[in-house]
Amino acid sequence: MFFTAKGSLDVGISSMSVSVELEVEEQTLSDGKVVPSVKVINSYVDLPKDHISLHIHGNLIAKFASLFKGLFMGTVRDQITNQVNNALRNSVPPAINKLIASQKGYSNIYNHMDLDWSISSAPKINAQTLEFGIKGLFFPENQGEVAPSVTVPVMPYKNTADKAKF
């Protein structure tokens, strides 16, 4: 004789911490502009078992199963953390990179003026500094970019002899 359990499971999470280590790279758009992209190097989800609540609703078999919910709490926790880690590593970066690419390397800044924020190389990030450069060309909205007639000087990223903080 077989019995069918009918019901539902409500899962509540009261607290969870997520840590993500990113690498900032570059992606080249179809028009040749280079813009930032992100790659997840590592992710960690901490979900303590005592921060999960399970409520089983349903027929008599479901009520019986609720007596054993402590036995499969670890499995539920593992499934949640695996799914969050999977999304952080495999779904979030492509979505962010698509969003960045959809901006086409420029944004409207002020009063119908656009700013080309495309990059010449991937940003450099370490414990002491964040170094990145953008093209930085302002141009009228919907009129396209016009390159300046003079050569723009190369700007240094960091000079360790200078006490400037920015």
Assign residue 67 the CATH number of its domain: 3.15.10.10
H/E element, 99: helix 92-102
In a domain, 110, yes or no: no
DSSP 19: E
pTM of the model: 0.70
In a domain, 100, yes or no: yes
Instruction: State the residue range of the domain holding 32.
Output: 7-104
H/E element, 66: helix 60-66
H/E element, 83: helix 69-86
In a domain, 135, yes or no: no
Contact 68, 34 (CB under 8 A): no
Per-residue pLDDT tens for 91-134?
Answer: 999 999 999 999 999 999 988 899 999 998 888 887 777 788 88
Contact 119, 132 (CB under 8 A): yes
In a domain, 94, yes or no: yes
Total count of domains within the chain? 1
pLDDT reported for residue 93: 95
